[in-house]
Each structure stands twice: as structure tokens, then as C-alpha cells.
Amino acid sequence: MPGNPNEIKLVNNAMSNATRRKIMNFLSAGDKSTGEIGGEVGKTMLDFHLKLLQQASLIEIEEGTVKLSEYGKNFLEDKEDKSVNKITDISQAKPIEITEVRQLLPCIADSSKFRVIANMAPSLGETLKVLEPLFPRGRYSDKISALIMQKGEIITTVYGTGKVTMTMIKNEDEAKEALENLRSTINEAIAKGVAPAPREKVRVEPMELYLPQTNCGKCGEQSCYTFAIKLMSSEASLDKCTSLKEPKYATNQEHLQVLTAYI
Ligand code: SF4
């Protein structure tokens, strides 16, 4: 059963693709032949998709028959439980206001930019988790009880307590605009009273996993990780990573082409 970080990355990668998720759901009804799966999800790159699911220990293939592994079954059950438990009613939440912009300090990484610390009230607590789909590059962290969002270079973190931090802000006007956008996006959802539909996520991790991870900077980014983030937000194209053209990375490139096709 996957447990170490690399194995978890393989699972994340396998499940980051709509066709592969469809295959998993199709298999939850019982074992299928590869022909039946091809009929359900299409035959394009079917071998590739099955191989990734197999590598992630989610399925087993035997003499043309494909079935969910024990881990695959548990994975789907766990996912179902989590979605059932999701809070969907946000009708009790109150509209928020930005009550205070406390500090504008130079960024550590780039002193020409600022980091901002602000406050919003009332605090949203766990409701923040439900609001995650409102923000295309948003991710809720249970560990710090905060919603972390990325837009261009700006990374905004909204904590359940009401504290808001922003990094890589150009000036006060940009800070005000970003905070106002945040306020109005959240308040529009609260006014509707229902949680936004959970969105399918393509994770950054698989992208990063298949990049050469040399951090050579030829793509114009400081690291493969930041390039992966740009790929995710469609701000960079794969061909900017010239290292990927080396023959030894041919398979990585193929995987990345599939992943980027689903952004
Ligand atoms: S060019 Fe490719 S290998 Fe080099 S830092 Fe950028 S993504 Fe990484």
C-alpha cells in the first residue's frame, strides 16, 4: 500500500487525470476487460492510463482483466466518506469586511515587493475550507487551518481566525485591490448561501515530479517547482524547459504533455 512520499506522488498523479478517475469509478462496479474500459472511456492512450494506475497500486491487471486493488477500493471508499462529510451549508456565515491592514513590510525574497498583514471580520473558521473551489489556485490546509491562494506572483493566506497575509505585493494600491477582490469573492458566495461545487484538482506535485528537478533556471524560473506552478496556471508552456528535450527525459516529457493537456 502506498505510504512513502514518492508512492503518494504516484497516486496523486494517477488520480489527477479525468480519464483515470473515470476508469477507477467504472471499475468500482466490478472487474472489467481492457476492451470494456476502452468502450467506456475511449481507447486513446488507454495503455498509458492503465499503466499509471497500476504503478500507483490502484489497480491490478491480469490476462486482459482489470480490477481495483485492495488499496484502490479503500482509496475510493475513503474519498466517498470525505465528500459525504463535507460542509455544504454556508447560509449561517456572515459577510466579511477587511477591518484592518496592519503592516506593509518588504518581502524577504524580493525587497522591491511587499508582504501585507491584514484582518477580516467576522472570522470564517471552517467555512474557509468549503470556499476553496472559489479560488482557481486555492488550497485549504488542515494543518494551519488556512486557505492558501496563488494569483500570478501573489500568494494570499487567509486563516480561520481572520488574519490575512499576502506576499509579493507591488504597492499599497495593489494590496487594497487584492483585498477588495478577496472580500467580494467571499461575500458573493456567502450571499448565495450554498457552498461552491467542489472542483476537480490537478495537483502541482505530479508536474514537479516529472520535471528534471535540476533547478537549472533555463526556463527563466528559479526552480522546477516555480515552473510547475506557472505550468499549472497556464503562464508558462512546457517547451520553455529546454532540459526536457534531452533524450533521457523523453518519458517525463510524455507524462507532462498528458498532464498539461488536462489543465
Ligand atoms: S528549465 Fe526545466 S529543469 Fe531547468 S529549472 Fe526550469 S523546469 Fe527545472
Q: Where are the beta strands (DSSP E) in the chain?
A: 32-33, 59-62, 65-68, 97-106, 114-121, 139-141, 146-151, 154-159, 163-169
Which domains are present in the chain? 5-85 (1.10.10.10), 97-192 (3.30.310.10), 204-261 (1.10.15.40)
Q: From ligand 1's centre to the CA of 219, what distance in Å?
A: 5
Mean pLDDT by groups of 10 residues along the chain of 263 residues: 62 79 88 92 88 90 92 75 51 85 76 87 88 80 81 84 89 91 91 69 63 88 80 82 90 76 57
- Of 227, 221, 217, residue with least CA distance to 256: 227
Q: What is the pLDDT of residue 154?
A: 81
**222 Cα–ligand 1 center, Å:** 8
| All three cell numbers of 224 | 522546477
State in Å: Cα 240 to ligand 1 middle. Answer: 8
Ligand 1: centre distance to CA 202 (Å): 20
Q: What is the pLDDT of residue 84?
A: 40
What is the Cα–Cα distance from 202 to 16, expressed in whole angstroms? Answer: 5
Decide: 220 in ligand 1 pocket, CB within 6 A. Answer: no
pLDDT confidence of residue 262: 54
Pocket perturbation via mutation, ligand 1, pick of 204, 214, 237, 259 by most ligand atoms within 8 A of CB: 214
Mutation probe of ligand 1 site: the residue of 204, 209, 211 with most atoms within 8 A of C-beta: 211
Q: Whose CA is nearest to atom 8 of ligand 1?
A: 224
Output the CA 32–ligand 1 centroid distance in Å. 40
- Ligand 1: atom nearest CA of 212 is 3
pLDDT of residue 196: 73
CB of 185 closer than 6 angstroms to any ligand 1 atom: no
Q: What is the rounded CA–CA span in Å between residue 195 and residue 216?
A: 42
Distance 80 CA to ligand 1 centre (A): 37
d(CA 223, CA 21) in angstroms, rounded, equals: 30
224 lines ligand 1 (CB under 6 A): yes
For the residues of 35-75, what is the DSSP string, one character each?
HHHHHHH-STTHHHHHHHHHHTTSEEEETTEEEE-HHHHHH
Q: What is the pLDDT of residue 90?
A: 73
Distance between Cα 213 and ligand 1 center (Å): 7
Nearest atom within ligand 1 for CA of residue 242: 1
Residue 204: the pLDDT is: 58
Can you give the pTM of this predicted structure? Answer: 0.46
Instruction: In whole angstroms, give the CA distance from residue 231 to residue 142.
Output: 25
**pLDDT tens digits for 49-108?**
999 899 888 999 998 899 999 888 888 876 554 444 444 567 778 889 998 888 788 877
Q: How far, in Å, are 24, 26, 139, 145, 191 from residue 30 at the CA level? A: 10, 8, 33, 38, 43
The per-residue pLDDT for 213 is 86
Cβ atoms of 153 and 134 within 8 Å: the answer is: no
- Is the beta carbon of 218 within 6 A of some atom in ligand 1? yes
